[in-house]
Structure 1
Amino acid sequence: MEWIADPQIWASLVTLTVMEIVLGIDNIVFISVLVSRLPASSADSARRIGLSLALVLRILLLLVISWIIGLTAPLFTVFGEAFSWRDMILLAGGAFLLFKGTLEIHSGIEGEEDEHGAQPKHPAFWSVIVQILLIDLVFSVDSIVTAVGMAEHVEVMIAAVVISIGIMFVASGPVAAFIKEHPTTKMLALSFLLLIGVALIADGLGFHIPRAYIYFAMAFSALVEVLNIMRHRKRKAMHVENQN
């Protein structure tokens, strides 16, 4: 256990934790969008279960690192481009995000009321959990493959994952509540899912899009949306004040 006193180990832990938190932004957005459609009584439970599943999946994958490394080995070649199991998982995950994001945007714009004007039904709790589990698997594989190249000790990787999931657990509640309270931010979050889906498909096809570009676009769009919300609240407050 002498490696615990090694400053390089602690440096790698901090670096890896930050990386896991950044990569976890995608997961938070997806989970927040899904639980926003659930009743308030079960939304928090779904969010907790989803993040707990992400933690369990990542720790299990870290315990089978040799298998994870094998996922990056070429599986077959198409038109001179080699594809691995990791590529296939990223392609499937990206396609799922594109499908889910498009479906949710359509439902949000067109509405889900039936011909009798009945209110839309909430999705089944466990169907949401299954969707979270599937996308957790995609993000976990991508995250762990990156972690394997940044740290040598499994203990360090597990500690980084636990810390990052803990921070995501704390942050996901306010994010989910904010998205549910402001419908326009949900539409923005869905557009983020489409962007993330395209990035995953590009990675699966061998065209890596630097995540810094994606996160900058997300941060800039989120800032603009926050300014719009502040402006709307100010105008609403002025309107109420004028009425009084």
Structure 2
Amino acid sequence: MPEFFAFLLDPAAYAALITLIVMEVVLGIDNLVFISILTNKLPPSVRGRARRIGISLALILRLVLLSTVAFIVHLTDPLFTLFGHGFSWRDLILIAGGLFLVWKATREIHHSVDPSDGPEQMVGGAAAIGFGAAITQILVLDLVFSIDSIITAVGMTNEIGIMMIAVVVAVLAMMAASGPLSRFIAANPTIVMLALGFLLMIGMTLIADGFGFHVPKGYIYAAMAFSAFVEILNMLARRRRQRDAADMAPAEH
């Protein structure tokens, strides 16, 4: 067996592989929410293609970064010190990505609540963004999330083979979930606003991380899960009220 796959003979490696796959899938949620919101602004005929291209780019970027893992490790080396914190390339990339996410989410929230912008600029409006612009924005965030994902993977294992398998499995899971998630978001406007709130929170978390204030991911995802659960309860309550109103309408006649 080639040395690259020698880890397959080590039972302990499978525990690391499963743990890393779960971690990569969780980290991919941020990327997937952004891709779903952005591609829903495209005409329906090209949304699927845009999602596939965006997620494929995420896979390619992660594999390319894994092939230069020695370089990626050095991205955490401080470049300069400011306010007592040593800033590395990773920090600068996270800050830039966080600022982009905050700007993008704020802009989309503004367009969704300000009717004076016109319906074509609303979240989900077909003419709100071009195909090339969508792919470019997805690529920018893919790069940010890919670097964070690979640095996390390097911190968990030294086996490149384990990292590659975990990345491929996580991206395939993103590909499978992208369609249903995008359709669910498109069919529920309140979910769009909630998802934009998530992007704001993720952007601020990236900025804080870049400045050396690490927020445990578990807190972030627990808050997201609780908010999503509350919104699902609201959706069920709205549907029940709509059914009750529909049942009462014939009786009134």
TM-score with structure 1 setting the length: 0.95
How many Å separate the matches in 2 of 1:178 and 1:113? 24
Q: After TM superposition, give the deviation of residue 120 of structure 1 in Å.
A: 7.3
Provide the identity percentage: 53
Match of 1:33 in 2: 37
What does 1:23-172 align with in structure 2 at a 5 Å threshold?
23-111=27-115, 112-113=117-118, 121-172=127-178
Q: Please say if residues 39 and 122 of structure 1, whose CA atoms lie closer than 8 Å, have aligned partners that are also in contact.
A: no
1:223 aligns with 2:229: yes
Q: Does 1:190 align with 2:190?
A: no
- Is 1:173 the equivalent of 2:199? no
Q: Supply the AA of the counterpart residue of 1:147.
A: A
Extract unaligned runs of 5+ from structure 2.
120-124
Q: How far 1:237 sits from its partner (Å)?
A: 1.2
Runs of 4+ in 1 over 2 A off after TM superposition: 119-122
Kept in 1, the 8 Å contact 2:24–2:170? The answer is yes
Q: Secondary structure at the match of 1:122?
A: coil
Distance in 1, matches of 2:16 and 2:83, equals: 38
CA distance in 2, matches of 1:37, 1:241: 35
Letter in 1 for 2:118: E
What do the CA deviations read for 1:74-133 (whole angstroms, capped 9, x no partner)?
A: 11111221000000000000000000000000000003318xxxx872310110000000
Aligned residues, how many? 240
Q: TM-score, normalised by structure 2?
A: 0.92
Higher alpha-carbon deviation: 78-87 or 89-98? 78-87
Quote the Cα distance in structure 2 between the aligned partners of 1:52 and 1:65: 20
Q: Distance in 2 between matches of 1:92 and 1:180?
A: 28
* Partner Cα separation in structure 2 for residue 222 and residue 3 of structure 1: 39
CA offsets per residue over residues 192-239 of structure 1, 9 Å max, x none? 000000000000000000111110110000001111111111111111
* Partner secondary structure for residue 71 of structure 1: helix
Q: Distance in 2 between matches of 1:226 and 1:172?
A: 19
Q: Aligned partners of 1:62 and 1:86: how far apart in 2?
A: 15
The alignment partner of 1:173 has SS state of helix
Distance 1:36 1:223 in 2: 22
For the residues of structure 2 that align with 1:36 and 1:183, how far apart are their CA atoms? 11
RMSD: 1.2
